[in-house]
């Protein structure tokens, strides 16, 4: 079996995603227990206990989710689709526990001024960052305000220099990989998430660019989180893994003796509510209880990965350079059977 480096995976003949690869321990681990492992990191000026950023979807991140994720050492990006942005300020003051918000390209200066004055991270929430209007908006915000800006999304590192020149502090990587996203089907755009990440990672390294990389889409498990970080991500953005938790917007619904919550893509009909081009689906996901249990599971899984790979810190994990490419049968063999 061949063991692949990041560079070899980046030059692989096929587009790869998380199910196509596996991390390979190649040395004797000195880590005795998971408790020895440190997964803390600094991202966009924030000290993170777990390198997780929530997706700014209207069924994932509202006020309650953003506040709880902040408490758990993560970042929650409050969505721009409902009344959440209007509820950020009470009597002119920002409510406690909010670190980041998403805005549209048409966001007005009054709102941006409020967000910037409170040192919130601003996420320009679009499907395609390879766009002159997105770059212009980013440049305008960075010139006017002292604030960190996330832009997205990209599937390739070819325009990373343009994003940095526009002032972007971080970029969301991945087009079409989200479980509720139909962009690839509708447009033919997008590649596997691992290949997207690697291409952006090497573009950043080769050009010595100062920009954070957020793996956005396709992450289904703590193992995928570890793979994303090993492939070059500084943080992961989660939608479906956080969907259905108590803190997500929306009511808990009882159906067929089971509890559910709604989950939908940002370009779904339920968000747009008009008959324009749709690039997102809607579904129901089982109710999961408190988001704390999901984050704790990610933390434990990530620490376990690092104990296998002899990693004391996230920086150690990001330096790992030994991967396997899995056949379909090899992937299926690894799935639990009942």
- C-alpha atoms less than 13 angstroms from C-alpha of 207 in its C-beta half-sphere: 18
Sign of CA dihedral 5, 6, 7, 13: positive
pTM tops 0.75, yes or no: yes
SS3 123: strand
Residues 178-237: tens digit of each pLDDT: 655 666 666 777 789 999 999 999 999 999 999 999 999 999 999 999 999 999 999 999
Active site residue 311: no
Residues 118-136: tens digit of each pLDDT: 999 999 999 899 999 999 9
Residues 4-26: tens digit of each pLDDT: 999 999 999 999 999 999 999 99
Contact present, 214 and 44 (Cβ < 8 Å): no
Enumerate the domain spans of the chain: 6-333
Residues 222-276: tens digit of each pLDDT: 999 999 999 999 999 999 999 999 999 989 998 888 999 999 875 444 444 445 5
Quote the CA–CA distance of 116 and 107 in Å, as a whole number: 13
Active site residue: 74, 138, 181, 311, which one?
Answer: 181
Q: Does domain 6-333 have CATH number 3.20.20.70?
A: yes
């Amino acid at each position: 079996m061949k063991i692949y480096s990041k560079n070899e995976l980046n030059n692989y003949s096929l587009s790869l995603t998380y199910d196509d690869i596996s991390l390979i321990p190649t040395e004797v681990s000195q880590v005795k227990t998971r408790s020895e492992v440190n997964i803390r990191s600094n991202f966009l000026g924030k000290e993170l206990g777990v390198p997780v950023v929530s997706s700014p979807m209207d069924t994932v991140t509202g006020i309650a989710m953003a506040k709880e994720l902040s408490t758990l050492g993560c970042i929650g990006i409050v969505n721009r689709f409902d009344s959440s942005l209007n509820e950020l300020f009470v009597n002119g003051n920002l409510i406690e526990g909010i670190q980041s918000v998403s805005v549209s390209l048409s966001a007005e200066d009054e709102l941006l001024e409020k967000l910037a004055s409170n040192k919130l991270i601003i996420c320009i929430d679009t499907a395609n960052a390879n766009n002159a209007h997105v770059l212009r908006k980013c440049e305008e915000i960075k010139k006017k305000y002292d604030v960190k800006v996330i832009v997205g999304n990209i599937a390739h590192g070819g325009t990373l220099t343009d994003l940095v020149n526009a002032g972007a502090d971080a970029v969301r990587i991945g087009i079409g990989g989200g479980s509720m996203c139909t962009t690839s089907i509708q447009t033919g755009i997008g590649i596997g998430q691992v290949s997207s990440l690697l291409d952006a990672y090497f573009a950043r390294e080769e050009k010595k660019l100062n920009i954070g990389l957020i793996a956005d889409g396709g992450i289904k498990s703590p193992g995928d989180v570890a793979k994303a970080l090993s492939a070059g991500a500084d943080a992961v953005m989660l939608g479906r893994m956080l969907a259905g938790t108590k803190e997500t917007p929306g009511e808990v619904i009882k159906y067929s003796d089971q509890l559910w919550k709604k989950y939908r893509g940002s370009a779904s009909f339920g968000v747009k509510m008009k008959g324009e081009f749709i690039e997102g689906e809607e579904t129901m996901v089982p109710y999961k209880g408190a988001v704390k249990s999901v984050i704790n599971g990610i933390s434990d899984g990530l620490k376990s990965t690092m104990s296998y790979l002899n990693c004391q810190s996230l920086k150690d994990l990001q330096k790992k350079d030994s991967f396997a490419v899995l056949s379909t049968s090899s992937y299926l063999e690894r799935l639990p059977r009942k």
